[in-house]
A and B are shown apart, each in its own frame.
Chain A
């Protein structure tokens, strides 16, 4: 399809001119990254697909408000970030009210992508990183995911989040230090348990 070689802004112009089906090119172009971002934030792959679907519908509805400056990526990740945070806030409220009412709230099991067969030690290490990533404060997690997983520059993260460059630098630096410290501590503890059992 010739339209696939068009840049984002050209496709958006076509969609706004009535060629709605061209929007599918943008979905194919960005769905992988959007799902990756949402999944990293909420750690539930089924829910990530569902939120991603809503994100693309919202993007489509907001296309007339997009100012064409070749920064479509920032535009869509801003929407994805807001919708994911809304979802997380709703979850927090559900947990809060469930606890308030004394009901048992069963958090959905952590549903990550079925990973390729790796050695158990590797799988354990990955799970450890995942758990620690989820325990980071929201802003640190967003900044780190946008930088490490999606390889955005600080400037692009600024466009998505609205934070200053120095704040982004601090958030990412703190997130890395925290992860490094927590993982090292957990490894130390597991080593201690392992040696204690051996004795």
Chain B
């Protein structure tokens, strides 16, 4: 290890961040090089000076003051509720969209079938129109069967 490399590693050595073998190599160099030894002493003096600086202790009642501030805040037990509501809303929108799409597909199919039957293509029908038509057909069927029943009954009589 040359002087340049040793000096670049002195800080990490002081911080205890070198491996055992790196530390041993550096120590060997320090034992033999007066200039690097002097540099190392400079590091030692500096860090000793830094460590000597005093820091203020927490003021008396510091923790009580923090706790008092925390008690004033509302308990956020159900902080997951807004995200749940948001997810549910999204899910609802998705399901509605899906159902609308399904009904539109159904319409198209009915429309195509009707179109084929009447030899006039229907390209678009609303859901309510299909419903009304189906209901109408159902009613007609009911009416037909009623008539049939009525007429049948009349024949019997």
Contacts and interface: CB of A to CB of B under 8 A. Distances in A.
Main secondary structure of the interface of A (DSSP, over half): helix
A113 B49 contact: no
Contacts of B69: 53, 57
B54 interface: yes
B155 interface: no
Interface stretch (B55-63, B84-92, B102-110, B117-125): B55-63
Interface string B1-31: 0000000101110111100000000000000
Given A49-B59, A49-B62, A60-B70, A112 B54 contact: yes
Interface residues of B, number: 37
B42 interface: yes
Contact of B67 (A21, A154, A172, A177): A21
Nearest to A153: B17
A32 B66 contact: no
A99 interface: no
B63 A169 contact: no
**Looking at A18, A57, A147, A149, which has the most chain B CB atoms within 10 Å of its CB?**
A147
Contacts of A116: 54
B58 A154 contact: no
A25 to B, nearest CB: 9
Interface in B95-119: none
B67 A24 contact: yes
15 contacts: A20-B71, A20-B75, A24-B63, A35-B56, A35-B57, A36-B56, A39-B56, A49-B56, A53-B62, A53-B66, A56-B66, A129-B53, A148-B47, A173-B10, A173-B12
Interface of A: 18, 20-21, 23-24, 27-28, 31-32, 35-36, 39-40, 45, 48-49, 52-53, 56-57, 60-61, 64, 112-113, 115-116, 125-126, 129-130, 133, 144, 147-149, 153-154, 169, 172-173, 176-177, 179-180, 183-184
